[in-house]
Amino acid sequence: MAKDEKLADIHLSSHADQLKQMRDQVRAVLGKQGCDPETVDSMVLAINEACMNIIQHAYGPGATGNIVLEILKNKDHLIFRLIDFAKPVDERTIKSRPLDDIRPGGLGVHLINEVMDEVTFIDNPQTAGNILEMKKRINQSL
């Protein structure tokens, strides 16, 4: 089994104004992996949505905390781990609303699941609240 190669370790606070810098850093990392621009855009959007969910739902209004985004590569997969230090969430309560319910918001989970090949919460050490792991297969010839 191949070992994960760490590509980036991005730290940000749980404020929406931190997301642009995070998106720029993710784009730079993914650009070096030879991903096509459309794939980069969709992965950046999914990661941004996951970060917003942490800010809005894990930490909640008025709360502040830290988020760590680890980007790793294992053969032909990119792995994105979002680590927060909020109260652990009940992953059974995390779901998208129905797509035919047309109104703003509430589709981040759907978007994340559409973009990424695998999305799971992984067991976390007691030092973290939640660890969301997202995997995306990339072309081996890149």
Q: Which residues pair with 6 in a beta bridge?
A: 72
Fold entry, domain 5-137: Heat Shock Protein 90 (3.30.565)
Do 12 and 22 touch, CB atoms closer than 8 A?
yes
pLDDT of residue 24: 98
Task: Note down pLDDT in tens along the chain; length 142 residues.
Answer: 668 999 999 999 999 999 999 999 999 999 999 899 999 999 999 999 999 999 998 999 888 999 999 999 998 999 999 999 998 887 776 666 565 665 556 667 889 999 999 999 998 767 778 999 999 998 744 3
Domain boundaries, the chain: 5-137
Which residue, 72, 85, 67, is CA-closest to 19? Answer: 67
Ranges assigned E (strand) in the chain: 5-13, 66-74, 77-84, 118-121, 130-137
